[in-house]
Amino acid sequence: MPRMVGVSFRKAGKIYYFDAGDLDINPGDWVVVETVRGKEIGRIISKTREISVDEMPGTIKNIIRKATPEDLDSARELRRKIIEAFKIGEEKIRFHELPMKLIDVEYTLDGSKMVFYFSSEGRVDFRELVKDLASVFRKRIELHQIGVRDESKMLGGLGPCGRPLCCATFLTEFAPVSIKMAKEQNITLNPVKTSGLCGRLLCCLGYEYEQYRNMKEKLPSVGQDVSTSLGKAKVISINALKEAVVLQMESGATVEMPVAKIMWQKKTYSNNHTVVTAKDE
């Protein structure tokens, strides 16, 4: 059976799967693989796993070989060349007066192709730029436009929490994030508080979303009438982590109280019919 293994080409990069064949490889090893862009060097990030032909996600290419010292030296040399290539790329973009921002440059392992990653607010006609870069580097040139989230992932930085960006350190895929996740966690709906360096909603809003949603199922809703030992009251806010609510009593006073000490009627829905259930004290 094929031995599938995950390979990543940059830190926290997307995981691609290859057939390890008979190679003796382990997580952390560097390998040379054939991609649509040519030969590239990547790192093993998962253990090999035997799979049946039915489980194979389409066509899986073979790993060519474990990276040799020469391969690693070539990769290091190409990374040094990237600095100069980046400067030339920026100069050519300014020369052609294109509304684009160069983000990163990559070489294939054999140095026959270069990929320039850029961001832009709209579509860019970069045909003349490609010709210019090809005449300078004498290689095949590709330009890839990336989104703002991928830009932050490549550039890195510190998030509002003061820690390195999740996307640049351990997130290999971008999961959908919605404003509903912030509302569910009672986070102030202020773009400064809910947006990352990319200007999009923080990825971390999704980390605890399911836990908050599950905890809130055990709590009354804001605005709901409840009964307590102090009398009737209305819920004005909830604290899911403390499993407590802030109540406004009939006298106008506000009181924080654990949900275990109140009674309320919770509405659940089954087959489009409302069923009222009671929460015991």
From-to residues of CATH 3.30.300 in the chain: 72-146
| Residue 54 confidence class, pLDDT cut points 50, 70, 90 | low
Distance (Å, rounded) from C-alpha 73 to C-alpha 244?
Answer: 60
**Cβ–Cβ under 8 Å, residues 26 and 44:** yes
From-to residues of CATH 2.30.30.140 in the chain: 217-279
Instruction: For domain 217-279, give the fold.
Output: SH3 type barrels. (2.30.30)
What's the alpha-carbon Rg for the chain, to the nearest Å?
27
Please list, in sequence order, all residues whose beta carbon lies within 8 angstroms of the beta carbon of residue 232, skipping any fewer than 6 positions away. 225, 226, 249, 250
| pLDDT tens digits, one per residue of 2-46 | 788 889 988 888 888 898 888 888 999 999 998 888 889 999 998
pLDDT surpassing 60 at residue 187: yes
Distance (Å, rounded) from C-alpha 102 to C-alpha 91?
Answer: 10
Q: Does domain 72-146 have CATH number 3.30.300?
A: yes
pLDDT surpassing 50 at residue 77: yes
